[in-house]
Structures are given as structure tokens and as C-alpha cells.
Amino acid sequence: PAVPVTAAAPAAPATSTAPTEQRREPAASVPPQRRDPATLPLPEPRETPAIVADRRDAGKPTVQDLLESRGGASRTRAASGWQGAVRRATGGLVSPAPGRAERDRLDRQKRVQRRLDAPRTIVVLNPKGGAHKTTSTLLLAATFGTVRGGATLAWDNNETRGTLGWRAQNTPHHRTAVDLLEDIDEFWNPSGSSLAALDTYVRTQVDARFDVLASDEDAAASSTIDSAAFDRLHSLLRRYYRLMIVDTGNNMRASNWVASVAAADQLVIVSTVREDTAASAAWLLDGLREKGFGDKIDDAVTVLTAPSSRPDRRLEARLSRHFEQVTSAVVNAPFDPSLVDGGPIDFDALAPETRDAWLTVAATVADRL
């Protein structure tokens, strides 16, 4: 039988199998936050040639490392005694250590050579004539000059005339402290201020390596050096000398005498082994204490010099005991016949015992500078 044809139903709309796309909502506007510059990371440094060289040379030794790699102080070679004789005889193949006497001398030399942080003034005192002040001033200056080096001055601070210039070695000129005082304003001018210009006023002791400033030598002159003149000279000379050793006159009431004591960094009391000279020195110390210089007296050094080749040992011991109680140290210096005639001192003619004693004096003074 025939199948009836029915009308076709309307076709359903085709459904898409592709996923539907979600619609994005617009984001809310948020203001940007500002960061602290301190928290920002630092930029990487650029590799400059200097940085590359520093990195390459890091850890390499320097000249300071080379100098510090040296060993300790070289071994001291004996120069005297049998130890020195053996070293010289063997050409150094056998080199004993220095003996006790030489080690003691080397120790005193090192004390004299100690570094000073400022110029120092040493004043030699005794109000009695013939107390060995001028000789002591020259011997002390010669010891400091030869052992320590230059820049040492021996200065005659007599208010009128002293003998320091006469006992020094001869020089081409005869100018004195008075001449320097007259021309002192020229030295405050930078163009005229020099050690070479000062050489025309001081007397250079070439062999002993120190200078001498003499006091007035004109018998007809009426000028004197007072405290103000001393202070002006002292202020100038401090610019050129590390050590000034001042010889003083016999008048402890003179204003320049008092000014020198006030300017002193170290006092040296000098006396021969005689009752009258020692009593004068003791009287001086009593007077200085009354004037308010007690501290300087407590630190002073006393030098007792033998007046002859056979001094009174009992008197020497008694004087030593007294001055040991009123000053900080006492040093004894022997008699030397080369110092008797009163003429210019020939330092090469001094006996070895004299040189050794004044090395002790210089070391004792240097300890207190």
C-alpha cells in the first residue's frame, strides 16, 4: 500500500558548538603608587677601566708591604774593646756583640738623639764667676751637636759682656746678639728671613756642628740686653734651632737673667767641687724657689766639675748628696787639662773620659726635655 506523504516539519535552528566568548568588564582605575627612592635597587656599576684595574690588582703587594717585609734592626757591630778589635782583624767574619761599656755608650747616644716635638731651651746657671758655666755651655752644645746633629745654638745671655764668643772657635765676623737685635725686624720679613741670613750673626763651629751667638764685645758700648730684648731674640731663634743652650751672667737680679729662667725648658746647675762655688749654687736654688720656680728646680740637673786632677773626694760626695736632694740628678765631670788655659776650646783635644762624662750629662738632660 502506498505510504502517505506528510509535510516536513520546520527545521530547528542549528545550535553552534563553539564556546561562547565571555565579555570583560572594564577594570576600575587605580592610581599608581609612588615608591621611596631609597628602596629602589641601585643600578649596576659600569665596568670602567679603573674598576677593572682595581679588581685585577686587588691583593697584590705594595711598596709598604715591601718595606714592612724587612727584618728587625740590624745587629749592632762592635766598634771598640776587644770585640771591635776582633771584628776588624777578621774583616767582619767574626763579629762579637758590643761589650757592656759600648752598649752603655750607645744607649746614652740614643737618649741624646731622641725626637723632640718642639724647640727646647736649656739654661746653665750659677751666679758666681769661675763656676764653669761658659765651659759647660760649650761642652754641652758640642755634645748635642756631634751626637744629635745640627740646629744647636750656644747663646751668651750676659746683659753686657760674656766670654762665650772668646772661647768658641774663630769665625770670619765678630757680630753679636746686639747686632742681631738691631737688625731683627728684617727677619720678620719673609724675603729676608732665612738660616743663611742668620749665619752672618752666629759663629759656626764646623767640627762640633753647633752655632754660637756671642754677647756684646764692644768695651765702649753702653747698650744692655734686658728682658724684652731677650724675649725678642728667643722668639726669633726658636724658628731656626731645635736646641738652645743659654749661658747666663752672674747677676741673678738682671731682667734678662730672670727672663731666661722663665723661658727655660730645662735648668742645668753648674758648680766646681769647691765650697764657695757650691754654696753659691745652693743659694741660687733657694732664691729661685722663693721666686716661684720650684718645679723647674725639682727637674734641674746638677753638674759638678773637678777643679784639678786630684779633687777632694769627701767634698765631692758631700756636695753630691746635697744636690741630689734638691735637684733631679747629679753628674760628675772630670778635670781636663785642655780646658785650663781659658782659650778657644779644642774639642778634638778633650780626653776620652771628658767626652764620656759630657755624653752622660747630655743624655741626662735629654731625658727631661
Q: pTM of the entire structure? A: 0.78
Query: Between vectors from CA 313 to CA 312 and to CA 317, what angle results, nearest 5°?
Result: 120
Q: Pick 33 or 217 by higher pLDDT.
A: 217
The pLDDT value given to residue 344: 87
Amino acid at 16: S
- The yes-or-no verdict on residue 22 having pLDDT over 60 is no
Alpha-carbon torsion, ordered 155, 156, 159, 162, to 10 deg? -170
Cβ atoms of residues 120 and 150 within 8 Å: no
Give every CB contact of residue 198 below 8 A, 6+ residues apart in sequence.
Answer: 180, 187, 240
Domain ranges of the chain: 79-112, 119-366
Give every CB contact of residue 17 below 8 A, 6+ residues apart in sequence.
Answer: none
Q: Could you tell me the pLDDT band of residue 17, with boundaries at 50, 70 and 90?
A: very low
37-94: per-residue pLDDT in tens? 666 666 666 667 766 666 666 677 888 778 777 765 567 777 777 777 777 788 777 7
Q: Could you tell me the pLDDT band of residue 192, with boundaries at 50, 70 and 90?
A: low
Question: Which CATH number is correct for 119-366, 3.30.2310.20, 3.40.50.300, 3.40.640.10, 3.40.190.10?
Answer: 3.40.50.300
Cβ atoms of residues 347 and 314 within 8 Å: no
Across 304-331, average pLDDT:
94
Maximal C-alpha separation, the chain:
183
137-176: per-residue pLDDT in tens? 999 999 999 999 879 999 999 887 788 888 888 777 788 9
Query: Among 81, 254, 69, 238, which Cα is nearest to 160's?
Result: 254
Here the cell at position 365 is 738632660
Across 346-365, average pLDDT:
95
Q: List, edge to edge, every strand of the sheet that includes 210-213.
A: 203-205, 210-213, 152-157, 243-248, 120-125, 266-272, 301-305, 329-333
